[in-house]
Chains A and B, each alone.
Chain A
């Protein structure tokens, strides 16, 4: 059997981002692969240390635009921990609303791209049209379809008026039926099953070994969700079940995402129902003392961790991330081993890799 090395880039893999792989093939099967990272390395660790806390909120929102609310909200949580700030209850709920809106849009984008990869163009367009309901809601409430600008240190800087909340509730109502329908499609549609079921399998033991997180882990039957394991913000007052699937394959990961998107709708409805009155953020600009803190959250791709160290000045002296895609893309080695070349784009997209987060 012949062995050869090929290099695959974004144009072959249908990725929005420049991620390159060196794949070792035996015949037409994948024997091994190397990720060639760094194309999206913008020197974020360097930049955050040269920007003050306020500037970093906007900068970190642009660390990655698909999980763009998770970054500033987790960063603000770390700063608030250092400064001993308790954010108003209303702000906790509004942060959860922003996070869940982004989660729905992010998960749907991932499912859409995979449909496109396997040539299901009509389904791709359908999922993107459903996602548009969220995009429109984001623009109506926050003023931008990707970067919400919802967070400030000490709270949030957007509010939901009575009409705004009613509008969002209507958008959520409009999401329910399409999301249920998409779940059934990704679960039972024979054209999808033949490409996604049993493909790109990550056994549970390997999932633990590689410490994968988010939908990739939950698709392998690992019941781990930061919102449940160590609730932050309003999540200890919201009810939801962690979506878990046992298959460990591409199908399982997508079913986790679609179930989560449906749960996010319910979470947003709960937030709207419970939304307490009160201020949105602390009155004055807080002073940030010297200290260090870790904050974590459940981003759309999994557990996101921030380590922050401050020295009493208005700039961080150290900010370090552990982003979910870092562990998940390492596990691609296991998922791709023995798979035919034609399955590479699908499997790579099935982990919803975020290169912007990982390269930074």
Chain B
């Protein structure tokens, strides 16, 4: 006698998690996707497994510590060839706030191939589900052929801290944002025509400290949390802008003029004299106010 499998039985896609030394934020949120109905991965036809060899989708959290590496690679070797690997949170992609530590051996891609990234610190459960859905779509495309399709998701208006947005028009190049950024996500470059800022969403931990200290509101936190993307696009996930140089009206030297937002923050109601200062370089400003450039 043999038991016949039902033709239409739906076999759940199995998810397996590896923690490579995370702060447990992503892991606790993943636990939510196994426990809370609203965010349950079962709505995507998935189920968690505790056996690496059953992994259809592999979810990896943490910056990959030196100590965990051997165990992570051992578990990875047990997983099937055709799984889809997902980096959860920014740590596996860039190290996040733990970058450049002697004890961290990331990014994960140095050791094993990654297919999908879900930035966030930690990503909210909605973002985890979106990323897992993207992994499922990639899995389907690989099996059936064709390109994976990115599905639109319902957007809620919850005030979550998402992607940072940069407005070069109000930036005064003070660089306090880079100074306070724990994740090293912000870079300034001085070019021919101006100063440009680049912020990498795969390093950013969405703490919002840059926008808190930004004197002119050039950096602001948006509610856009849907940041999952194919790992191949990791370095395209940036916010960028250039503050152009303008010639000093006194000597013609290229300077970054003070934005109106800064004058407003400093003087409340700037008068014409103050307005004139913003187009002068430091040397010309000193010339105008104390007669000689200060040494």
Residue A43 lies at the interface, judged by CB distance under 8 Å to chain B: yes
- Are B103 and A135 in contact (CB-based, < 8 A)? no
Q: For residue A50, which residues in chain B have a CB less than 8 angstroms away from its CB?
A: 100
Q: Is the CB of A112 within 8 A of B28?
A: no
A320–B180 CA distance with the chains assembled, in angstroms: 21
- Residues in A with CB closer than 8 Å to B262 are none
Query: Is A152 an interface position by the 8 A CB rule?
Result: yes
Bound Cα distance A198, B263 (Å): 68
Q: Is B97 an interface residue (CB 8 A)?
A: yes
Interface: A55 (CB within 8 A): yes
User: In the complex, what residues of B have CB within 8 A of residue A18's CB?
Assistant: 19-21, 68, 71
A145-B29 contact in complex given A18-B71, A40-B68, A59-B97, C-beta closer than 8 Å:
yes
Q: Is the CB of B160 within 8 A of A143?
A: yes
Question: Number of A-B pairs whose CB atoms are under 8 Å?
Answer: 162
Within 8 A of A (CB), among B56-81: 62-63, 65-68, 71
With A64-B24, A66-B28 as given contacts, are A143 and B36 in contact (CB-CB < 8 Å)? Answer: no
**Contacts A139-B160, A143-B161, A145-B29 given; does A62 touch B97 at CB 8 Å:** yes
Minimum CB–CB distance from B204 to chain A (whole Å) comes to 10
Q: Which of A121-129, A289-297, A298-306 lies at the interface? A: A121-129
Are A46 and B101 also in contact (CB < 8 A) when A38-B67, A39-B71, A58-B209 are? yes
Within the assembled complex, what's the spacing in Å between the Cα atoms of A56 and B24?
18
Bound state CA distance, A112 and B32, in angstroms?
A: 11
0 or 1 for each of A101-117: is its CB under 8 Å from B? (1 = yes): 00000000100110010
Q: How far is the CA of A65 from the CA of B122 in the complex (A)?
A: 9
CB-CB under 8 A from B23, the residues of chain A are 40, 62-65, 68, 356
Asked if A177 is an interface residue, CB under 8 A from chain B, the answer is no
Tell me, in angstroms, the Cα distance from A66 to B27 when the chains sit together: 10
Decide yes or no whether B247 CB sits under 8 A from chain A. Answer: no
Does A125 contact B35, Cβ atoms closer than 8 Å? yes
Identity of the chain B residue whose Cβ is nearest the Cβ of A54 in the assembled complex? B180
B24: chain A residues within 8 A (beta carbon): 16-17, 64-66, 354-356
Instruction: Collect the chain A residues with CB atoms within 8 Å of residue B36's CB.
Output: 125, 128-129, 132
Contacts of B22 in A (CB 8 A): 17, 40, 356
A146 near B29 with CB under 8 A, answer yes
Q: For the complex, is B207 an interface residue (Cβ under 8 Å from A)?
A: yes
Select B50's contact among A11, A68, A109, A355, beta carbons within 8 Å: A11
**Is residue B205 within 8 Å, beta carbon to beta carbon, of the partner chain?**
yes
Q: Which residues of A contact B179 (CB under 8 A)?
A: 52, 54
Whether the pair B25, A42 counts as a contact (CB closer than 8 A) is: no
B19 in contact with A10 (CB, 8 Å): yes
**Does A41 sit within 8 A of B, measured CB to CB?**
yes
Q: Is A256 an interface residue (CB 8 A)?
A: no
User: Chain B interface (Cβ within 8 Å of chain A)?
Assistant: 19-25, 27-29, 31-32, 35-38, 50, 62-63, 65-68, 71, 96-98, 100-104, 121-122, 124-125, 158-161, 179-183, 205-209, 212-213, 221
On A, residues with C-beta under 8 Å from B are 9-11, 16-18, 38-43, 46-47, 50-52, 54-59, 61-66, 68, 109, 112-113, 116, 124-125, 128-129, 132, 135, 139-140, 143-147, 149, 152, 157, 354-356, 359
